[in-house]
């Protein structure tokens, strides 16, 4: 038996969380260690340990992630944001369930004059 990732436990309702958005393909939550004023995690419900495990048949889920980012940005009147994916331990991935960081807020003013 394999151990569930924290994201699988959240998706399965075993760990309570405040959801920003949820549908049959993804869940969106606040990051517990935010790196920006707005820092959400967009998590596919289907488990992929890393990007290399996503096959062609599942690419629609990735397109859906970006559509949900558009919807969230629109609903919250966010015009400038980043979407970041860490793939692999050396790239900063700490939970081995593919997820997308949605970052927005005043930190852009410091990064990009």
End-to-end CA separation in angstroms for the chain = 50
Sheet holding 100-104, edge to edge: 19-22, 26-30, 38-44, 100-104, 81-84
Q: Annotated active-site positions, please?
A: 99
The total number of residues shown for the chain amounts to 113
Tell me the helix, strand and coil percentages in the chain, rounded to 5. 35, 20, 45
């Amino acid at each position: 038996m394999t151990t569930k990732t924290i994201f699988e436990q959240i998706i399965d309702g075993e760990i309570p969380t405040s959801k920003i958005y949820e549908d049959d393909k993804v869940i969106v939550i606040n990051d517990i260690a935010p790196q920006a004023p707005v820092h959400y995690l967009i998590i596919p419900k289907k488990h992929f340990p890393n990007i290399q495990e996503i096959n062609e048949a599942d690419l629609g889920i990735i397109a859906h992630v970006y559509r949900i980012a558009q919807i969230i940005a629109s609903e919250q009147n966010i015009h400038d944001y980043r979407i970041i994916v860490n793939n692999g331990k050396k790239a900063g991935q700490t939970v081995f369930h593919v997820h997308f960081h949605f970052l927005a807020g005043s930190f852009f003013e410091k990064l990009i004059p």
